[in-house]
Amino acid sequence: MIEVNPYLTWEYCTDPEIQYLDCPAPEPMRNHMPNWFKQLKARKEEIDLAEQQTIRNCLGFRGLANTGYTIPLPETLDGYDTYFSRGRLHPDMVAGTHFANQGTKPWVSDDSSLYEYRIRLLCWPWRAKMPKGWRLLILPYLLDWSTDWNEFAGTVDPNYDVQHGTQIGSSLKWTQPIDNEYNYYNLETVLAFKRSVTLKKDLLTFCAVPLFDPQLLDKQTKGVYNDNMD
């Protein structure tokens, strides 16, 4: 258990089958700045004066480094199912998007599927414990971009699908009980990547952002949403 601050504690899953992963704890985004940003100069002297400033001087982009938490991929994703990476999702779940694109022949020699992308549910062995009124928002990694893969954004209701007082909709086997006075969120992410691509271990794919929701707090403390709240 890692108590980050009064509104966020990370709990680790003791499921024996996930221990092979040796998955590190979530860390602040500022600990994982991309190499391109580290190597970028603050000014580009060879261009016009008005355009000399690079993104290193952009307060908005720099502010992302202080937003949320991430974990490098603890294993390489090559399309085969593991206890961590599970193929329970199908491209037709997002029909009408390029993630459901099909070709006329397989994209790789060892996979007969005509779909360009595979979609995987990643079951990280961590969950967030937060006070009432707090959510955990999953976003793509905010400091880099790729045309080969995409992390889907999302957030779920707290303590969803509680089983035996420990499981909160998780594919992992949690034994630690939950305290009903808090909100719990499993760290689970959904990733689409091209069949022709292998995602290497240590790649950064997601950002988990603690988010205070006054309407959720109103619901949890009064039993109803107040639609008139700003």
Closest CA to 70 of 30, 128, 13: 30
pLDDT tens digits along 62-77:
888 888 999 999 999 9
From 165, 171, 211, select the one nearest 190 (Cα to Cα). 171
CA distances from 144 to 29, 33, 131, 155, 209 (A): 12, 9, 31, 21, 17
The CA distance from 190 to 146, in Å, is 15
- Closest to 23 (Cα-Cα) out of 201, 175, 207: 201
**Average pLDDT per run of 10 along the chain, which is 230 residues long?**
94 93 94 87 64 77 87 93 87 92 84 88 95 96 92 88 64 86 94 94 95 93 58
Whether this prediction's pTM lies above 0.95 is answered by: no
Nearest to 77 by CA among 148, 154, 171: 148
- What pLDDT score does 230 carry? 47
Pairing of strands 69-70, 162-163: unpaired
Q: What is the pLDDT of residue 212?
A: 96
- Asked whether 149 and 47 are in contact (CB, 8 A), the reply is no
Q: What is the pLDDT at residue 170?
A: 73
| Amino acid 229: pLDDT | 47
- pLDDT for position 32: 92
Q: How far is CA 115 from CA 147, 193, 195, in A?
A: 16, 11, 8
pLDDT number for residue 177? 86
As a whole number of angstroms, the distance between CA 170 and CA 123 comes to 8
